[in-house]
A and B are shown apart, each in its own frame.
Chain A
Amino acid sequence: MRFDSILDTIGNTPLVKLGRLSPQPGVSVYAKLEGANPTGSVKDRIALHMIEAAEKNGDLTHEHTILEPTSGNTGISLAMVARAKGYKLVCVLPDNVTSEREALLRAFGADVTYAKDAHSTNDAIYRAQEIVAKAPNLYYMPYQYGNENNPRAHYETTGPEILRDVPEIDVFVAGLGTGGTLTGVGRFLKEKRPEVKIVASVPHPGDLVQGLRALEDGFIPPVLDESVLDGRIVVDSVTSFAMTKELMEKEAIFAGISSGAALKVALRAAERLDSGNVVVLLADGGWKYLSTELWSKDYGEIEERVEGKIWW
């Protein structure tokens, strides 16, 4: 396959049958491997869509620095798109991201600033909004949580790819972060196949809510259209890690932590079907999580480091 630019290699990711994990003969579970995107995550799709839409409508020019609150994948994807197109990028990170993520951002030429005392993505979002509010002419913030081009990227690319590869899809499962994947893919699939069920996996907030002062400090991403959802399942860190490891052991697929949680939910959906097809989107590859030692140690040995961190 020949491409004119790295940006043209985004999307059209492989869909792989999970033959050993599919629970019963009449039910197939397929995984869409978003780790096969150029920076190794699904976020390449939305980074490209958000930046090109802002170029088109004039919100982004070469006078601007792109600034985004992110704890990882979106920043790395924006860094690639920014470098390919000649923009500067600053990422505002909470203080608990893995070392691989910062190293990758810097490798792509992004500047990194840590939001002081930001223990969660919520805090990083508020910090980034403050920076932009002080100098609105200097910065352009794509703001993946509120940018309609985030779900649109999935409506125009991920959704059609899934329906092309599994026209008889019954259930679609993905992790809920910004809500962009579920909203975009969900809208597309429901238009074409109204009986399809859209199910979200969400991380158990565990102790991470300590810093949340009041319920009103909670956050529902503006791009999330809850009306496309048919279910939301909460998955804790232990289960996410265990399933990510099982995915490697049974199917030789090296995926990130959120993929373990999504897989857990997909297998649950599959168990409830007599026959049919479940598609689960695996948002990233495992590379950025090697420092967890997830694949080389037992959970008991890494638990202390794992608990209380944001994994997805």
Chain B
Amino acid sequence: MPIEVKLAANLQKLVGGQKSVSATGTTVGEVLDDLESQHPGVKETIMADGQIHRFVNIYLNDEDIRFLKQLNTPLSEGDTISVLPALAGGAA
């Protein structure tokens, strides 16, 4: 199943400068594996020791997958994955 993966500006260099790419899989983990085969090095950057890098948040649509089933979070037709960096809150 093709899934759209959107990347934040500072991560787009990992996929040849594109804002979003298509990858296939039925879970978030499978999609990231497919992304890695298309653009080797992606996982090395956004993962660390098999876990999502602590400064990276991966969202299924708008929900952080750390609070869902993490890399095993299942996907449905039309879902979008966003890979965003962790930042300090703005107006604090």
**Do chains A and B stick together as partners?**
yes
Cα-based distance from A121 to B88 in the complex (angstroms): 6
In the complex, whether A196 has a CB less than 8 A from a CB of chain B is no
Cα-based distance from A71 to B88 in the complex (angstroms): 11
* Contact B90 A71, beta carbon cutoff 8 Å: yes
**Which residue of chain B has its CB nearest to the CB of A233?**
B62
* Contact A218 B90, beta carbon cutoff 8 Å: no
* Contact A234 B53, beta carbon cutoff 8 Å: no
* Contact B64 A221, beta carbon cutoff 8 Å: no
Contact of B64 among A125, A208, A234 (CB under 8 A): A234
Q: Which residues of B contact A188 (CB under 8 A)?
A: none
**Provided the pairs A209-B9, A212-B85 are in contact, do residues A234 and B90 lie with their beta carbons within 8 angstroms?**
no
In the complex, whether A271 has a CB less than 8 A from a CB of chain B is no
A/B pair count, beta carbons within 8 Å: 113
Contact of B89 among A226, A233, A312 (CB under 8 A): A312
* Contact A205 B87, beta carbon cutoff 8 Å: yes
Q: How many A residues touch B, CB cutoff 8 Å?
A: 48
Please classify how large the interface on chain B is, using the bins under 10, 10 to 19, 20 to 34, 35 or more: 20 to 34
* Contact B67 A232, beta carbon cutoff 8 Å: yes
Q: Which residues of B contact A73 (CB under 8 A)?
A: 91-92
Cα-based distance from A204 to B9 in the complex (angstroms): 12
* Contact B88 A234, beta carbon cutoff 8 Å: no
Contact of A120 among B9, B59, B62, B87 (CB under 8 A): B87
Cα-based distance from A233 to B66 in the complex (angstroms): 11
* Contact A210 B9, beta carbon cutoff 8 Å: yes
A interface list, Cβ under 8 A from B: 43, 70-74, 120-122, 125, 144-145, 175-179, 202-205, 207-210, 212-216, 218-221, 226, 229-235, 256-258, 310-312
Sort A-B residue pairs by CB-CB distance and give the 10 closest, nearest first: A177-B89, A218-B55, A310-B90, A177-B92, A232-B64, A121-B88, A219-B88, A312-B91, A231-B67, A215-B55
A70-B92, A234-B82, A258-B91 given; name 7 further pairs at CB < 8 Å.
Answer: A125-B88, A177-B89, A177-B91, A203-B90, A209-B10, A215-B10, A229-B67
